[in-house]
Amino acid sequence: MAKQKPKAVNESSYLPPRPGQPWYSADFGASAESSEASDKHDGLGAFLPKQPSMREKIFDALSGELAVVLLIGLVSTTTAWTAIQASFHGGTADGSYGEYQTSMAEANNLWITAEVKYRADLLTWDTGAGGSYEYALYAKPCRESGESQLPDCAPYMEAVYNPYGEAFDAAQPLLETSEIEAGHSNRLQMLTGIFAVSLFLLGVTSPMKKRKNAAYLIAFAATLWATGVAILASVPIIIL
Residue environment code for 126-142, b if the CB has 16+ CB neighbours within 10 A, otherwise e: eeeeebbebbeebbbeb
* pLDDT of res. 14: 46
Mean pLDDT in order along the chain per 10 residues (240 residues): 52 52 48 46 49 57 69 93 96 96 96 94 86 90 87 93 95 96 96 94 79 81 93 90
Buried b (16+ CB within 10 A) or exposed e, 11-44: eeeeeeeeeeeeeeeeeeeeeeeeeeeeeeeeee
Q: What is the pLDDT of residue 180?
A: 97
Distance CA 182, CA 225 (A): 23
pTM over 0.75: no
pLDDT at 3: 53
Q: What per-residue confidence (pLDDT) applies to 41?
A: 45
